[in-house]
């Protein structure tokens, strides 16, 4: 799936169904150089980070935030024609040809305003800025993998509290997921920088991301090594605009209440 960019619209980081070598464009998308490192998903928080696959074989990254709930990006479930593309599986502990566990998907919830606001054109699907902050989704698993893999807490404060937290951390964050150039191994960028928390709730940053990282967690990790999700990865500019724009994520204050309602609904079943 390729979602091109036009004025006033957002170019998403799509996911492909196979690994691919780094292209010249990919290399330009890195901030100076590729600072990603391999991160074996056998310890927290990485053992809670996994790979989502949809019916059309789109690949995204997601994180266990409750025993049976995964947090990811909304555009992962929309195909090139704007149709809903349901998730089929979520895999954790993926490392080469091995993995720890896999679950089928029971339910996917994508923000209704996000789906309604998509613009369909001949050359692709566009996400206008007015709905870009709604690019998040929640996935319910048939098997509660979080009971064995653990879950990662999501920041529960408002935007001002998040700014305070980021300032206390010197705006240093960590991101990790399953990128297009190596979809069988988890790669993380430690100590990258958040650059601004926008008024609409989007958090800009300079972590090295590629296709496949859509929906991946943006963590703040404290002095004790405890990780908290503060945002989910959404998009990157085209290579031609890399020097002008940072990467984009959706911050936790935007979706926290909706996420808690989705988790609570699961507990009642």
48, 103, 214, 235: the catalytic one is 214
26, 48, 75, 249: the catalytic one is 75
Cα radius of gyration (the chain): 17
Residue 214 known to be catalytic: yes
**Dist CA 78 CA 58 (whole Å):** 9
Nearest 5 degrees, angle CA 130-CA 7-CA 56? 70
Question: What three-state secondary structure class fits 111?
Answer: coil
Residues 6+ apart with CB under 8 A from 5: 11, 237, 238, 241
Residue 18 known to be catalytic: no
Helix 159-168 × helix 252-268 angle, to 10° = 110
Residue 165: what are its φ and ψ, rounded to 5°?
-60, -45
DSSP state, 145?
A: T
**Dist CA 51 CA 91 (whole Å):** 5
**Dist CA 36 CA 24 (whole Å):** 17
**Dist CA 228 CA 222 (whole Å):** 8
Residues recognised as catalytic: 75, 214
């Amino acid at each position: 799936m390729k979602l091109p960019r036009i004025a006033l619209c957002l170019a998403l980081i799509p996911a492909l169904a196979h690994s691919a070598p780094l292209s010249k464009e990919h290399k330009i998308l890195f901030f100076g150089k590729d600072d990603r490192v391999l991160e074996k998903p056998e310890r927290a928080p990485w053992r809670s980070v996994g790979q989502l696959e949809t019916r059309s074989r789109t690949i995204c990254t997601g994180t266990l935030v409750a025993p049976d709930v995964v947090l990811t990006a909304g555009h992962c479930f929309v195909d090139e024609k704007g149709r809903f593309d349901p998730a089929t599986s979520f895999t954790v502990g993926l490392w080469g040809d091995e993995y720890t566990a896999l679950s089928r998907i029971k339910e996917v919830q994508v923000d209704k305003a996000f789906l309604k606001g998509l613009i369909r054109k001949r050359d692709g699907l566009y996400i206008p800025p007015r709905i870009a902050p709604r690019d998040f989704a929640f996935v319910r698993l048939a098997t509660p993998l979080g009971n064995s893999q653990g879950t990662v807490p999501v920041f529960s404060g408002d935007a001002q509290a998040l700014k305070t937290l980021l300032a206390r951390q010197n705006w240093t964050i960590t991101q990790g997921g399953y990128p297009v150039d190596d979809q069988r191994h988890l790669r993380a960028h430690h100590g990258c920088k958040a650059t601004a928390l926008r008024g609409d709730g989007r958090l800009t940053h300079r972590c090295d991301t590629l296709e496949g990282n859509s929906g991946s967690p943006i963590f703040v990790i404290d002095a004790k090594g405890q990780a908290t999700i503060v945002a989910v990865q959404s998009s990157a500019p085209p290579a031609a605009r890399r020097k002008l724009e940072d990467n984009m994520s959706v911050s936790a204050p935007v979706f926290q209440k909706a996420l808690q309602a989705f988790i609570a609904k699961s507990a009642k079943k």
